[in-house]
Chains A and B, each alone.
Chain A
Amino acid sequence: MRATYREAVRSALRTACRRDERVFLLGEDVGRYGGAYACSLGLLEEFGEARVRDTPLAESTFVGAAIGAAIGGMRPIVEIMTVNFSLLALDQIVNNAATLRHMSGGQISVPVVIRMATGGGRQLAAQHSHSLEGWYAHVPGLRVLAPGTVQDARDMLLAAIEEPDPVVVVEHQFLYPMEGDLDETAPPVSPWRALVRRAGKDLTIVAWGGSLPKALAAADVLAREGVDAEVIDLRCLRPIDFPTVLASVARTHRLVVVDEAWRTGSLAGEVVARVAEDALYDLDAPPMRVCSAEVPIPYAKHLEDAALPQVRQIVEAARRARGPRA
């Protein structure tokens, strides 16, 4: 059936609540209002106030409470409105959720899912538009998922809930209204694997989340120019499925990484570094990165468009990676 990304998220939340009575939702506006992006619309009515909990505006404490509830035997799913707000909960996520299994010598398990909207493109300016998922991907003890399709929005969230360790799920806010095919009965693909979304032989484009549709659009443009690009959806940002990336580069010998975060210290840099470490001699050209301009994301439409990676820039990077045609 056809569904939007937000409906797919809602489908996963509903399925999780039905499947497992330990699952409950909490966050700002998740109950009565149905979630800032309407992902939990109708769930308060279906599951009641005990399991769909509106919280005070206290990110650190409601995320910490979710972590505590996870330790206490529940399976909480926390929603944080945007990745920018999650910085208020960074202490609980990084100092507690991520450390406790290791620091307790394996005694404590923290099966919490922390969902957050990320990314720009909706003119929400510099405190609602950033892509900080790379920060979470830096931290051992966390798993980080970035679903980029409607099907993945459901499947990866359901998989995250099954995890015994904390999982951060970043949902690009530009994707919520996107329509796609959703099969609620299909056997899910492992969320920890990268997937080849478009096979090609001339060039590898690695993207994830909100950059995936742009990468696929760029591949279409390149196809019209006679360049056959392969598009890899990274999907899982920690741990990264490097074998899939390396296998692709071994075929195409050229690499472009699209990352909506800033280039400095980015995940794109990590992907390029790993390819350089493990497969430098597979490359026929320097790897390219397409990232956001190094500025806080601006409000004005034309400035925001200029700051974020766009299809045109991906195509240009691909052309440069291809070099002058022989």
Chain B
Amino acid sequence: MGEPNQPFLELNAISKTYPGVVALNDVSLAVGRGEIVGLIGENGAGKSTLMKVLGGVIAPTSGTIKVDGREHAGLTVNDAIKSGIAFVHQELNLFDNLDVAGNVFIGREPLYGGPLKLLDRKKLHRQVQPLLDKLGVDFASDTLVADLSLAQRQLLEIAKALSLDARLVIMDEPTSSLTLSETERLLGVMNDLRADGVSIIFISHRLNEVKFCADRVVVLRDGRMVGGLDRTEARPEAMIRLMIGRDLKSLYIPPQAPPGAPALEIMDFRTTAFPNHPVSLTLRRGEILGLAGLVGAGRTELARAVFGIDRRLGGDLKIDGQAVGIGTPRDAIDRGLFLVPEDRKQSGLHLDFSLTENISLPDLVRYAPGMLISGAAEGKNAEAQKRRLNIKAFDVATVAGTLSGGNQQKIVLAKWLSMKPSIIIFDEPTRGIDVGAKSEIYQLMRNLADAGVAVLMISSDMEEVIGVSDRMAVMHEGAISGFLERDRFSEHNVLQLAVGKRLDREGHLN
């Protein structure tokens, strides 16, 4: 046990470098006992890496971690658990086929004595009840997790943390899927925990909640700790100012001509993820429209519904002014509306297929005169695409899974470029791709736009969405919170809109 007036957690000059990337750069942070620290930063600022270091999942390249007065050179997962560090994850780690009690004590179930190691269910429920009482939950210890709401699951995660005698609970976006009243209850629980001397690191994009509950706010940007705000200073504007403010490299390639007629009109689209937020937007020929927002803002869901992967709950689509019904991806593809999906390995590609087989897949019938696939025809096209996109592979028979991320993404693009694209939606087109391939993809997008293709680019990368788009739409929790023209592009404006603020008529924030 350390001294009571000592901070519970002290991070000293933590750095984590990967080949070519500095994920964390000299980060120091202290969390006192019974203190709630808000941790904020943009997507990719290093929050997750820092949390993984705290959980003992990855070891820092340099720096020291002191927990409860004890210094750990290399914190392991076991050390983290033993020192009382617990996580409440954004993606919940619960077994929904087990009941509440079973989840709380998973792996530590009370047993009857004897060689059979039978579960003592009565004792299990008896041990769980006080934890549930403490949190004031409205579900019983024998409820199946599958029957719990998301908020109840969050509370269950916290109960699990408490059962481990957690002294520091790290909450990663715990409110992102909660309703207002559920959020309030969660914030209340956090206050109770603080009163019991439990420390909390609260990661959230919802700056108002951070302001409301945190004793102190620290801000990460590009892997560095760029500042701290105490309770009185922590206003959303001040937080945003700290989150942004890096020099963005200029990526912008200006278009050769002003945008043309509307190519794709999305009208009052409602997706299953956000049934109450209709989205409308117009994409013009020859432009690159950036679709910005925080992770989980509903952009991917919108793209999937437009492309016909998911059923839409309502709304209409027009392509070149004509109303179209798109019920399946095939409908979309036949109209020249293509999607480069977010998850390349799972949705974009067949990793076990060759370049040729991947590239010809959406348009296979064209290479199959008289029912049978002409290996020569599809191979020839694949060769052409490989050369055009500069795909670095030994030959077109190479299996896609053996290539780098950038080259894999180029194969996905090759699928669509072999056909006649009219509208292309790129969902996070350069995620996990090296710098060289990135700029090639940006140039390609511009070439497409200049050739009259309408490009919608979903991106969570600030540098990319500001640097590449001609115009921008920003989404927040399923709805479009505003459009920005190029002269109003700034990290500040994007971030304001992304956290749900609106712009007034002049484009000023209010």
A associates with B: no
Binding site for A on B (CB under 8 A): none
Binding site for B on A (CB under 8 A): none
